Amino acid sequence: MTKIEYRTLNDLAYDRIREGLMAGSFHPGQVLVIRTLAESYGISTTPVREALQRLVAERLLTLLPNRSIAVPALEAGKYAELARIRCELEGLAAELAAARVRKATLRKLARLADDMDESLAARDHDAYRRQNQAFHFAVYGEAASPRLFEMIQDLWSQTGPYMKELFGAPAYEPKANEAHRSVLAALEAGDGVRARAGIVADLTVAGTFLVPHLEAVEGARRREAEPA
């Protein structure tokens, strides 16, 4: 009985940290403090420690030379590569979803699109990120392809921390919700090709603003590291 409960806590810690990565709750390069995480989740430190080690093994977190565990640092090239893969897989999921999306899901997507407009108007970027994630995964859940869904989750776990930087490019904000409306219209029409194109457009627009910002951050970091 004890073993089953312990395993449940281990999985809980793993799921909560991974969800945080997907949602952009952690900053790139942030060192994760075991005790702080354990207190925030209301569990002991051992399940959190083992969950972090599992995420390091999955390359979602990084083991530093001092044995601390951190969110991977910003890398423009890595993000660009992940974005290309996401376009293919998430575009496919949206295309599959168009043939079977339920009316209840369409209503949910419409509400989320409205909520994102309100969050952007209020400059509540944390709320926008949560709503954006909910929108995308509501679409992908309609694809009825569990292995594809899992692969997309893995990609979001790797790119989520980058979303903290997205609104560092001010010109992105007016564009942030445009493609979601296109995706919703395509799904309402049952048009898989347009739904795929809408998702690809959404990811492409984000990358257009984010990659130059990441390159600038990387350049500034290199200059700071250079000897005087």
CA–CA dist 157, 134 (Å, integer): 14
The answer to whether 87 and 203 are in contact (CB under 8 A) is yes
At 7 the pLDDT is 58
The answer to whether 47 and 34 are in contact (CB under 8 A) is no
CATH topology of domain 76-224: Four Helix Bundle (Hemerythrin (Met), subunit A) (1.20.120)
Listed in order, the ranges of the chain carrying CATH 1.20.120.530 are 76-224
Q: Mean of the per-residue pLDDT values for the chain?
A: 91
Q: Could you tell me the two tokens for 212? A: 């130059």
For residue 75, pLDDT beyond 70: yes
pLDDT in tens, 100-147: 999 999 999 999 999 999 999 999 999 999 999 999 999 999 999 999
The distance in angstroms from the start CA to the end CA of the chain is 60
CATH 1.10.10.10 fits 2-70, yes or no: yes
pTM: 0.86
* Spatial CB neighbours of 120, under 8 Å, sequence gap ≥ 6: 128, 173, 176, 177
Residue 97: Cβ within 10 Å count: 27
At 1, is the pLDDT very low, low, confident or very high (cuts 50, 70, 90)? very low
Listed in order, the ranges of the chain carrying CATH 1.10.10.10 are 2-70
Mean pLDDT of the region 155-174: 86
